[in-house]
């Protein structure tokens, strides 16, 4: 059976911990590989390689870093089909979704290619007599990224291209559930000409993460995952004096006002709720319908579209949704549907009994639609992270806003309406980090930054974009005075400069 190992110093490094984990094809349920799980000593080896590489990489010119990033972008583009196939094989998402993931990751590489502009400092001349002050930004050193299973290429690409462009070196710990994409990303970086140790990959689970958090040579940690783990990562990083950005979970609401085009709203809700089997932190989890008439008409449209979705293996071009990542996760998600019925919700579409012919062992789950869901129900309170869409009904805009702002999460939200004034009011009043107006998944483009509020973000900085550059660098202010050659004949005055 194939073994998936680490990548350190531009070389594949076989595991030596004696521990490994299974990697499955979610469409069949069969194990396809084993992944080495790093010991603390193996993490130390990767950090040491990154620490050594930082000595010279931090001094590499912006022109040189940019040239390598442009080469990397071209290699990623040339290998996008191969990357997408790896994602589909280990995560299960359909090929079109996998290609879309690679494309969104490429956006951040393209952002990193503009690093000479992004790292421009500031200069104030003659702040006092003969005194200038400059502000510059410098790299941190070795930084680490811990990334989730749902986007095995895109989320790493949110992190390491910006970090490396800023002059840092990087240690990536991807999800052990779908680790192959990370190795291809690293191998292409080597082929682009990045020196050994600039980008390293350690496969692993909790012990690897804990060692990265504790290692004295790791200056900062980026994380994307669930809220409980994000909170723990923040705590562990701060305890060891590290900078941290930890993106947690979400319960994204989509507000539908009575004047909205309900066919457009329904189409967008279906795509945002069930795309990638709902395994997205930006998935629409709850549709909030204002008014009973709006709710009735919208639920009818949602049900009709949900029942028509084609579910099958990700490598089948006719499939619109693939399986979930593991059998355990499938069972967990499926349990929310009967629980919601018992708690008073109306199960309009129940996908828990789906069987895909020829793939009976796969981790497939049909889509479910729950109506009249209230905040007390588990399906509303929890991040389900699967193809279950809830509909909540309210009587007014104010009630909808209170419902959405009452959530402990604040990742993303959306409003569907024809009323520009209502949309403007919502985007200013809602408590979320990303807002879509007639856009269901408001994931910012690469030159803006991604991140939520409340329990969706732990740390001060959002990921990629301008905030990503600030996270991976630290500021330095330089105050300088040089004697004017025209007045140097009378000697140099070493006293405190005056403002005259």
Q: How confident is the model at residue 441 (pLDDT cuts 50, 70, 90)?
A: confident
Mean pLDDT of the chain: 96
Query: Is the pLDDT confidence value at 492 over 70?
Result: no
Question: What are the contacts of 491-494 at 24+ separation with CB within 8 A?
Answer: none
Q: How confident is the model at residue 487 (pLDDT cuts 50, 70, 90)?
A: low
Domain boundary among 407, 437, 467: 437
Classify residue 332: in a domain, yes or no. Answer: yes
- Specify the pLDDT at position 496: 62
Query: Is the pLDDT confidence value at 499 over 60?
Result: no
Q: Render pLDDT for 238-254 as a digit per residue (tens, 0 to 9).
A: 999 999 999 999 999 99
Residue 159 belongs to a domain with what CATH number? 3.40.605.10
User: What percent of the chain is modeled with pLDDT above 90?
Assistant: 95
Query: Is the pLDDT confidence value at 494 over 70?
Result: no
Q: Render pLDDT for 272-286 as a digit per residue (tens, 0 to 9).
A: 999 999 999 999 999
Residues 6+ apart with CB under 8 A from 34: 1, 2, 3, 4, 20, 21, 22, 23
Query: Is the pLDDT confidence value at 490 over 80?
Result: no
Residue 88 token pair: 């589909």
Residue of 441, 366, 429, 435 lying closest to 403 (CA atoms) = 429
- Specify the pLDDT at position 155: 98
- Specify the pLDDT at position 485: 77
Q: Are residues 320 and 275 in contact, defined by beta-carbon separation less than 8 angstroms? A: no
Query: Is the pLDDT confidence value at 75 over 80?
Result: yes
The region of weakest confidence among 277-291, 403-417, 473-487 is 473-487
Q: Render pLDDT for 145-188 as a digit per residue (tens, 0 to 9).
A: 999 999 999 999 999 999 999 999 999 999 999 999 999 999 99
Query: Is the pLDDT confidence value at 83 over 60?
Result: yes
Q: Render pLDDT for 385-408 as a digit per residue (tens, 0 to 9).
A: 999 999 999 999 999 999 999 999
Are 394 and 471 part of one and the same domain? no
Report the distance separating Cα 311 and Cα 319, nearest Å: 5
Q: Are strands 252-256 and 284-290 parallel, antiparallel or unpaired?
A: parallel
Q: How confident is the model at residue 493 (pLDDT cuts 50, 70, 90)?
A: low
Angle of CA points 66, 68, 69, to nearest 5°: 65
Q: Render pLDDT for 314-340 as a digit per residue (tens, 0 to 9).
A: 999 999 999 999 999 999 999 999 999
Are 354 and 264 part of one and the same domain? yes
Residue 328 belongs to a domain with what CATH number? 3.40.309.10
Report the distance separating Cα 188 and Cα 192, nearest Å: 6
Catalytic residues: 281
Classify residue 329: in a domain, yes or no. Answer: yes
Report the distance separating Cα 95 and Cα 314, nearest Å: 6
Classify residue 493: in a domain, yes or no. Answer: no
Instruction: Using the CB atoms, write b or e for 381-390: b if 16+ within 10 Å.
Output: eebbbbbbbb
Q: Are residues 454 and 289 in contact, defined by beta-carbon separation less than 8 angstroms? A: no
Q: What is the mean pLDDT of residues 454-481?
A: 96
Are 341 and 429 part of one and the same domain? yes
What does the H/E/C string look like for 30-87? EEEEEEECCCHHHHHHHHHHHHHHHHHHCCCCHHHHHHHHHHHHHHHHHCHHHHHHHH
Residues 6+ apart with CB under 8 A from 87: 93, 98, 101, 102, 152, 153, 178, 181
Are 425 and 460 part of one and the same domain? no
Q: How confident is the model at residue 420 (pLDDT cuts 50, 70, 90)?
A: very high
Are 203 and 268 part of one and the same domain? no
User: What percent of the chain is modeled with pLDDT above 70?
Assistant: 97
Half-sphere CA count of 4, side-chain side, radius 13 A: 28
Are 84 and 122 part of one and the same domain? yes
Which pTM value belongs to this model?
0.95
Alpha-helical (H) ranges within 193-249 are 206-214, 227-239
- Specify the pLDDT at position 498: 59
Report the distance separating Cα 388 and Cα 365, nearest Å: 10
The segment with the largest mean pLDDT, out of 201-210, 438-447, 475-484, is 201-210
Are 278 and 414 part of one and the same domain? yes
Query: Is the pLDDT confidence value at 500 over 60?
Result: no
| Residue 31, beta-bridge partner list | 24
Classify residue 320: in a domain, yes or no. Answer: yes
Are 313 and 222 part of one and the same domain? no
- Specify the pLDDT at position 484: 80
Query: Is the pLDDT confidence value at 202 over 70?
Result: yes
Are 361 and 422 part of one and the same domain? yes
Q: How confident is the model at residue 302 (pLDDT cuts 50, 70, 90)?
A: very high
- Specify the pLDDT at position 486: 72
Are 137 and 195 part of one and the same domain? yes
Classify residue 99: in a domain, yes or no. Answer: yes
Classify residue 111: in a domain, yes or no. Answer: yes
Domain boundary among 437, 466, 489: 437
Are 128 and 277 part of one and the same domain? no
Are 92 and 12 part of one and the same domain? yes
- Specify the pLDDT at position 460: 81
Classify residue 9: in a domain, yes or no. Answer: yes
Number of domains in the chain: 2
Full residue range of the structural domain in which residue 23 is found: 2-248+456-478
Classify residue 375: in a domain, yes or no. Answer: yes
């Amino acid at each position: 059976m194939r073994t998936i190992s680490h990548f350190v110093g531009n070389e594949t490094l076989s595991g030596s911990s004696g521990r490994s984990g299974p990697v499955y094809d979610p469409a069949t349920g069969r194990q396809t590989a084993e992944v080495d799980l790093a010991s603390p000593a193996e993490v130390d080896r990767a950090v040491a390689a990154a620490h050594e590489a930082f000595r010279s990489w931090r001094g590499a010119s912006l022109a040189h870093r940019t040239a390598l990033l442009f080469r990397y972008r071209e290699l990623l583009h040339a290998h996008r089909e191969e990357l997408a196939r790896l994602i589909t094989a280990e995560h299960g998402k359909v090929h079109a979704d996998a290609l879309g993931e690679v494309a969104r990751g490429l956006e951040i590489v393209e952002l990193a290619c503009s690093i000479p502009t992004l790292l421009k400092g500031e200069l104030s001349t003659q702040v006092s007599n003969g005194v200038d002050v400059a502000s510059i930004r410098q790299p941190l050193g070795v930084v680490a990224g811990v990334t989730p299973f749902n986007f095995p290429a895109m989320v790493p690409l949110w992190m390491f291209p910006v970090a490396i462009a800023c002059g840092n070196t990087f240690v990536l710990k991807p999800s052990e559930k779908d680790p192959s994409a990370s190795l291809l990303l690293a191998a292409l970086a080597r082929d682009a000409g990045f020196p050994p140790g600039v980008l390293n990959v350690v496969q692993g689970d909790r012990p690897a993460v804990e060692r990265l958090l504790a290692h004295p040579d790791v200056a900062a940690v980026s994380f994307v995952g669930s809220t409980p783990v994000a909170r723990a990562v923040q705590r562990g990083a701060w305890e060891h004096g590290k900078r941290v950005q930890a993106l947690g979970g979400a319960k994204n609401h989509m507000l539908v006002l009575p004047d909205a085009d309900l066919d457009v709203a329904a189409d967008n809700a279906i795509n945002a709720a069930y795309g990638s089997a709902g395994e997205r932190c930006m998935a629409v989890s709850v549709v909030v319908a204002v008014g009973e008439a709006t709710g009735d008409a919208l639920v009818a449209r949602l049900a009709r579209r949900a029942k028509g979705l084609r579910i099958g293996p990700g490598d089948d071009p006719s499939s619109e949704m693939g399986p979930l990542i593991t059998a355990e996760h499938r069972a967990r998600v499926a349990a929310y549907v009967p629980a919601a019925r018992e708690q008073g919700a109306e199960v309009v579409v129940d996908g828990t009994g789906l069987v895909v012919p020829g793939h009976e062992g796969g981790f497939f789950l049909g889509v479910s639609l729950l109506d009249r869901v209230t905040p007390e129900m588990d399906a509303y309170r929890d991040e389900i992270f699967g193809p279950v869409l809830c509909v909540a009904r309210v009587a007014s805009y104010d009630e909808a806003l209170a419902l959405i702002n009452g959530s402990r999460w604040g990742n993303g939200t959306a409003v569907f309406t024809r009323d520009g004034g209502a949309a403007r009011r919502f985007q200013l009043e809602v408590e979320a980090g990303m807002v879509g107006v007639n856009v269901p998944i408001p994931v910012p483009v690469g030159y803006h930054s991604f991140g939520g509020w409340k329990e969706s973000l732990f740390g001060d900085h959002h990921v990629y974009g301008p905030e990503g550059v600030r996270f991976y660098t630290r500021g330095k202010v330089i105050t300088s005075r040089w004697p004017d050659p025209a007045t140097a004949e009378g000697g140099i005055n070493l006293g405190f400069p005056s403002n005259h």
